[in-house]
Amino acid sequence: MTCDPLSEIADAPLSMSDGTIRALTDFRAADKFLELPGDDTTVERQRLTSIFNGALDSIIPGLKSSPQKLWFMARLQPALEEAACQDTEAREHKSKL
């Protein structure tokens, strides 16, 4: 049997201000994963950035109309699961230490 981490979350309202939405939008536009270990992490950085920007693309528009903790976590969970399954240089690098 697989555990669903969302089943352990108590739903609660989230306070969403224009500043919070703006910060998430700025984060969406920012460079991410700049400190990945390895010589050339460009492809990996692009892949991970795409995963998280995709999550943000579904989260940002809905936060004002659905500012609930469970709603937010349900949209974030697939990105976290996908990123966890990536065959990253970081994991390979760590395993060689």
21-38 pLDDT tens trace:
999 999 999 999 999 888
User: Which distant-in-sequence residues (6+ apart) come within 8 Å of 18 by Cβ?
Assistant: none
User: What average pLDDT does the segment 76-80 reach?
Assistant: 92
CA distance 14 to 65: 11
**pTM for the structure as a whole:** 0.77
Asked if pLDDT for residue 92 goes beyond 70, the answer is no
Say if residue 9's pLDDT is above 60.
yes
Confidence at residue 64, expressed as pLDDT on a 0 to 100 scale: 81
Rounded distance, CA 92 to CA 76, Å? 25
